[in-house]
Structures are given as structure tokens and as C-alpha cells.
């Protein structure tokens, strides 16, 4: 009986150890950004990646759906974003569940995003974040340990724009496949709603916890946010290895400003910071580094901007072919706005080895602003095209309310109202009838009568012609 009890105890310990190992490897990075919406209320936007089956429940069949399975965090459930600094205590402010955006059971990852609003009791400074201790194991750096995805929030009014700052916004895939033994370049898309100078840095200390300095031999251009590295043995990479990237992105005013009229901020003082964390895997392929899928027209160009009026329906075609590889495209993953619909992958008719996914979005006034869309095409052997990111900019349609008067033509292509007046009218809305009698064209005592884009002169006896001049 004693032997059976001991065997059972060992079995329980072994099961618990396996559970701990499983739970200690499920986090795969994320980002969070924010913007003020009035008073001390802030809208936060976040993206996160997890090991497939260990996140909120995103699967290939649930793309576009809200998923809210409990998150297992180092053996306990920890599902919330918290105010980590600046608040009384560390209150939970929002569950970390999200809308499922992309997933791969074969590759073992899921990714989603969500927004939430929170009202603080004062303008800040605050640190909002999501913490845990279950980064997946890595082949460089610590890994298998703590994570920290945090942003700084300051709601004091800026002197240059008359309102609080908005943080930079970025995006990334959960997992990038970068072929072993190749030179690699990866551009991280970043936009700033206030037009500030934006710079990217390697995260340090508590910003990255267990994944600091985890991408060996890499160079980061802080101004362009481009990462360059060689996935070679000489640079300490191995075939099939996993490596983490942890960045901190900060925004800086372009000229000296003040916050709430007293706190000075120069172009060397950051206004906020946001994290970007993700994984890179270095699979080995028996093909050249350049043998990979490619995006082709009409896919929006890298770094381009797609402009649309709020209320209009957007349609974007993402098209990829085999490039100079013989393997067909099998997936196109897209990370974009939650309400953007993604079609299934289809082969283009009458075009060999070319595949398409169509994105549609019925925009509204609540969507105003810039939205990053990033897409990745992968083929049968698992090789990916270079990431393609572009920005969708949604601007107000000032013409929808028909503000232009007197037969004017309304234009609002860039979100700025422009009324092209019919002849004889002027004013912002073409509401003013131009006085053709000012200055008075009538001579020799004639009386001027104003008409639309014309005039007439009532001549005194003895004078005639249009202006009573003869």
C-alpha cells in the first residue's frame, strides 16, 4: 500500500510538472497603444499572440469572432490589463480577451486584437500594462519567463494641438518566418496621430523582462524602425530556432511645447511609449533565400496610404503569386481593423499560380483616423513573402450633409471641405451672391441692377449701351 501511494504521488508530481511546462511557454508577444477621447477617458487598442490553444481561444474557424477563454498565466488565471502606476493600487481595467484575427494550428499560434475605454481620475502620468511569467522558450536570451507589455499615458493638454497627446501606433505579426542562413530585413510599421517624430529602440529592463537582447547580432534603425540581421551560425542562430524581438516606440514633439501650460517638452523629451513584441523563427529551406512568394498588384504598396471617406465601403484586394519559387501560396494572413471582413483565399481565374484575399470594410464616423494593415503570404513549404503593410486613412465626408449652396460642386477627397462655386457666388459654402454692381459699372448716372454673374444698367435719357457710356 505504501508503494502504491508513493507511485501515485510521483505520478501527480510528473503531471503537475508537465502542466507547468505547458503553461510556461504560451505567450508570444503583443502591443498596446492609446488615444484620448475627452476628459480623462482613454481608448486603448491592443494586439496579442499566444500559443495555439492556450490563448483566449482563437482558431482558424473563429476569425472575426470574439473569444474569451480564460488565460492560463503561470498556473493561475490572469486575464486583465491593469493600471500599474499612477492609480490607487493596481486596479484591473479590462480583460485581455479579443477578436480573433489570425491563427494556425499547424504553426502553433493565434493572434487577436481589441479596444477598450477607461476613465482615469486625473490626467496622469499612468502606466497601463499586462504582465505575466509564461514567455515561450527561446533559443537565445532567457525566454520561458516574465513578460511585460506596458504603455505610458499622459493626458495633460499639449500647447501645440490644444489637447492631450495620442501614442504612436504599430503592428506586427505574432510570428515571422525568416529563413536560416540568409540576410534579413524587417520593417516595423509605425504611425503617429499627432504627426510627432517617432523613434524605435530595443526594449530594456522591465520593458522586456525575460526577452531583452534576444535577437542576436541585429541592428535597429531608430528612425525607420528597420531591423537587419543575418540568420547564420556565425551570428548565433540555429535552424528552426525561436527568437524574440522586444521594441519600445516613443514619440517626440517636433518643436518645444508645454503640457498644461507649465511642463516643458523639447524635441528630445518623449511624450509616451508603446511596446512591440513578437517572435522570429528561422526554418531551414533547401531553396535560395530569394525563393519565396511575393505580393503583386493591385495589392497596396508597402508603406502606402489608402484614403476613404467615412461612410463609404472600402474594398482592397491582396494578391500574391509564387514569386521565383515553384511552391503555391496556401495562406494569406491579414492583421487589420476588427470590423474589416476577410474573404477566403481563392485562385485568380486565368492567372497561373496567383491567389487573392479580398478585404471589405463598411466604414463609419467612429472609424476616423489611420489604421495599419499588415499581411503575410505563405506557400506550401512554409516560406513567407516579405511583410506588406499599408495604412488606411478614414476622413470625414463633409459633402454628405450637402453644405455647398447655389449649385456649387462639393469636394471632400482629403477630408477637407472644398465648395467649387458656380459663377456669380462666393464664400466658404458659396452662400454669397457676388455683387456685380460693386464697383458700379454704370456711367452717366445709370442705375446698376445686380443679377447672378451679371448686371444691367438702367440708363438716363440720352445714354445707351450696356454701361450707359454712349
**Cα separation of 176 and 379, whole Å?**
14
Q: Are residues 57 and 133 in the same domain?
A: yes
CB 130 within 8 A of CB 94: no
Residue 404 has pLDDT above 70, yes or no: yes
Weakest-pLDDT range from 251-260, 339-348, 377-386, 411-420: 411-420
**Cα separation of 295 and 103, whole Å?**
21
pLDDT tens-digit series, residues 186-221: 999 999 999 999 999 999 998 988 899 999 999 999
Q: Are residues 261 and 304 in the same domain?
A: no
Q: Are residues 251 and 266 in the same domain?
A: yes
Q: Does some domain include residue 187?
A: yes
The pLDDT of residue 123 is: 93
Q: Which domain holds residue 322?
A: 292-395
**Cα separation of 189 and 171, whole Å?**
6
The pLDDT of residue 78 is: 57
Q: Does some domain include residue 269?
A: yes
Q: Does some domain include residue 470?
A: no
Mean pLDDT of 117-134: 91
**CA angle (166, 333, 117) in 5-degree steps:** 30
Q: What are phi and psi of 75, to 5 degrees?
A: 100, -5
Q: Does some domain include residue 210?
A: yes
End of a domain among 261, 284, 307?
A: 284
Rg (CA), the chain: 30
Residue 2 has pLDDT above 50, yes or no: no
What CATH number does the domain containing 415 carry? 2.10.25.10
Mean pLDDT of 56-83: 80
Q: Are residues 62 and 186 in the same domain?
A: yes
Residue 52 has pLDDT above 80, yes or no: yes
Which among 124, 98, 121 is positioned nearest to 46, based on CA atoms?
Answer: 98
Torsion of CA 99, 104, 107, 109, to 10 degrees: 10
Task: With H, G, I as helix, E, B as strand and everything else as coil, classify residue 19.
Answer: helix
**Cα separation of 410 and 402, whole Å?**
8
**Cα separation of 428 and 42, whole Å?**
34
**Cα separation of 150 and 248, whole Å?**
9
Mean pLDDT of 297-319: 95
Which among 231, 223, 139 is positioned nearest to 185, based on CA atoms?
Answer: 231
Query: Who's near 3: CB < 8 A, 6+ residues apart?
Result: none
Among residues of the chain, what percentage have pLDDT more than 70?
Answer: 92
Q: Could you please report the per-residue DSSP string of 117-136? A: EEE-SSS--EEEEEEES-BP
The pLDDT of residue 143 is: 59
Q: Are residues 427 and 358 in the same domain?
A: no
**Cα separation of 325 and 386, whole Å?**
14
Residue 23 has pLDDT above 60, yes or no: no
Q: What are phi and psi of 112, to 5 degrees?
A: -150, 180
**Cα separation of 389 and 373, whole Å?**
6
**Domain count of the fold of the chain:** 3
Q: Are residues 349 and 430 in the same domain?
A: no
The pLDDT of residue 79 is: 77
DSSP state letter for 9: H
The pLDDT of residue 277 is: 95
Query: Who's near 369: CB < 8 A, 6+ residues apart?
Result: 35, 193, 393, 394
- Measured between alpha carbons, how far is residue 40 from residues 35, 43, 155, 262, 322 in Å? 11, 10, 7, 19, 50
**Cα separation of 158 and 263, whole Å?**
10
Taking the CB of residue 370, how many other CB atoms lie within 10 A of it?
A: 14
Which H helix or E strand runs over 2?
Answer: helix 2-23
Question: pLDDT category, 142, cuts 50, 70, 90?
Answer: low
Residue 77 has pLDDT above 50, yes or no: no
- Break the chain down into helix, strand, coil percent, rounded to 5: 10, 45, 45
Mean pLDDT of 310-335: 93
Q: Does some domain include residue 14?
A: no
Taking every pair of Cα atoms in the chain, the longest distance, rounded to a whole number of angstroms, is 136
Mean pLDDT value across the chain: 89
- What do you get for the CA distance between the two ends of the chain, in Å? 132
Among residues of the chain, what percentage have pLDDT more than 90?
Answer: 75
Q: Are residues 360 and 403 in the same domain?
A: no
**Cα separation of 176 and 229, whole Å?**
13
Q: Are residues 388 and 296 in the same domain?
A: yes
Q: Are residues 311 and 424 in the same domain?
A: no
The pLDDT of residue 144 is: 58
The pLDDT of residue 238 is: 97
What CATH number does the domain containing 301 carry? 2.60.40.10
Q: Are residues 139 and 37 in the same domain?
A: yes
The pLDDT of residue 6 is: 35
**Cα separation of 218 and 226, whole Å?**
10
Q: Are residues 306 and 249 in the same domain?
A: no
What CATH number does the domain containing 130 carry? 2.60.40.60
Residue 126 has pLDDT above 80, yes or no: yes
Q: How many residues does the chain have?
A: 470
State yes or no: cis peptide before 439, omega within 30 of 0.
Answer: yes
Residue 14 has pLDDT above 60, yes or no: no
pLDDT tens-digit series, residues 87-120: 988 899 999 899 999 998 988 899 999 999 999 9
Q: Does some domain include residue 183?
A: yes
End of a domain among 395, 415, 450?
A: 395
Taking the CB of residue 198, how many other CB atoms lie within 10 A of it?
A: 22
End of a domain among 284, 313, 335?
A: 284
DSSP state letter for 267: T
In 52-168, beta strands by DSSP E:
66-67, 72-73, 76-77, 80-85, 92-95, 98-104, 109-119, 126-132, 147-153
Q: Does some domain include residue 177?
A: yes
Q: Are residues 367 and 276 in the same domain?
A: no
Q: Does some domain include residue 303?
A: yes
Residue 8 has pLDDT above 60, yes or no: no
Question: pLDDT category, 134, cuts 50, 70, 90?
Answer: confident
Q: Could you please report the per-residue DSSP string of 323-386? A: TT-SSPEEEEEEE--TT-EEPPPEEPTTSTTEEEEEEEEE--GGG-EEEEEEEEEEETTS-BPP
- Chain-centroid distance of CA 56 in Å reads 21
Amino acid at each position: 500500500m505504501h508503494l502504491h501511494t508513493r507511485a501515485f504521488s510521483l505520478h501527480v508530481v510528473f503531471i503537475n510538472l508537465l502542466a507547468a511546462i505547458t503553461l510556461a511557454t504560451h505567450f508570444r508577444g503583443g502591443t498596446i497603444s492609446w488615444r484620448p477621447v475627452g476628459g480623462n477617458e482613454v481608448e486603448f487598442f491592443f494586439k496579442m499572440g499566444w500559443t495555439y490553444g492556450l490563448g483566449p481561444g482563437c482558431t482558424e474557424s473563429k476569425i472575426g469572432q470574439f473569444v474569451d477563454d480564460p488565460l492560463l498565466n503561470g498556473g493561475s488565471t490572469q486575464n486583465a490589463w491593469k493600471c500599474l502606476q499612477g492609480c490607487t493600487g493596481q486596479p484591473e481595467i479590462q480583460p485581455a480577451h479579443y477578436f480573433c484575427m489570425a491563427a494556425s494550428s499547424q504553426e502553433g499560434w493565434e493572434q487577436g486584437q481589441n479596444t477598450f475605454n477607461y476613465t482615469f481620475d486625473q490626467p496622469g502620468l499612468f502606466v497601463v500594462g499586462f504582465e505575466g511569467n509564461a514567455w515561450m522558450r527561446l533559443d537565445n536570451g532567457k525566454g520561458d519567463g516574465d513578460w511585460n507589455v506596458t504603455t505610458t499615458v499622459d493626458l495633460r493638454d499639449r500647447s501645440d494641438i490644444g489637447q492631450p497627446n495620442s501614442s504612436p501606433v504599430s503592428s506586427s505579426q505574432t510570428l515571422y518566418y525568416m529563413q536560416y542562413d540568409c540576410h534579413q530585413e524587417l520593417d516595423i510599421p509605425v504611425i503617429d496621430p499627432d504627426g510627432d517624430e517617432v523613434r524605435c529602440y530595443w526594449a530594456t529592463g522591465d520593458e522586456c523582462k525575460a526577452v531583452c537582447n534576444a535577437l542576436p547580432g541585429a541592428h535597429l534603425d531608430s528612425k525607420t524602425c528597420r531591423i537587419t540581421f543575418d540568420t547564420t551560425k556565425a551570428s548565433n542562430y540555429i535552424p528552426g530556432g525561436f527568437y524574440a524581438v522586444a521594441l519600445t516606440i516613443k514619440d517626440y514633439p517636433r518643436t518645444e511645447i508645454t503640457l498644461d501650460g507649465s511642463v516643458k517638452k523639447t524635441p528630445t523629451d518623449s511624450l509616451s511609449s508603446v511596446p512591440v513584441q513578437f517572435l522570429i523563427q528561422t526554418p531551414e529551406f533547401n531553396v535560395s533565400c530569394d525563393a519565396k512568394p511575393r505580393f503583386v498588384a493591385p495589392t497596396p504598396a508597402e508603406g502606402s496610404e489608402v484614403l476613404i471617406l467615412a461612410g463609404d465601403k472600402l474594398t482592397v484586394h491582396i494578391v500574391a503569386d509564387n514569386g521565383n519559387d515553384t511552391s503555391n501560396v496556401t495562406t494569406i494572413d491579414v492583421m487589420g481593423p476588427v470590423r474589416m471582413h476577410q474573404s477566403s483565399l481563392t485562385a485568380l481565374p486565368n492567372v497561373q499560380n496567383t491567389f487573392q484575399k479580398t478585404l471589405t470594410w463598411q466604414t463609419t464616423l467612429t472609424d476616423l483616423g489611420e489604421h495599419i494593415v499588415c499581411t503575410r503570404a505563405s506557400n506550401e513549404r512554409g516560406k513567407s513573402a516579405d511583410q506588406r503593410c499599408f495604412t488606411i486613412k478614414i476622413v470625414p465626408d463633409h459633402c454628405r450633409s450637402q453644405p455647398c449652396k447655389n449649385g456649387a460642386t462639393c469636394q471632400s477627397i482629403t477630408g477637407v471641405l472644398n465648395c467649387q462655386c458656380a459663377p456669380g457666388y462666393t464664400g466658404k459654402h458659396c452662400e454669397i451672391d457676388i455683387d456685380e454692381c460693386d464697383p458700379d459699372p454704370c456711367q452717366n448716372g445709370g442705375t446698376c441692377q445686380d443679377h447672378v454673374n451679371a448686371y444691367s444698367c438702367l440708363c438716363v435719357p440720352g445714354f445707351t449701351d450696356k454701361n450707359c457710356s454712349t
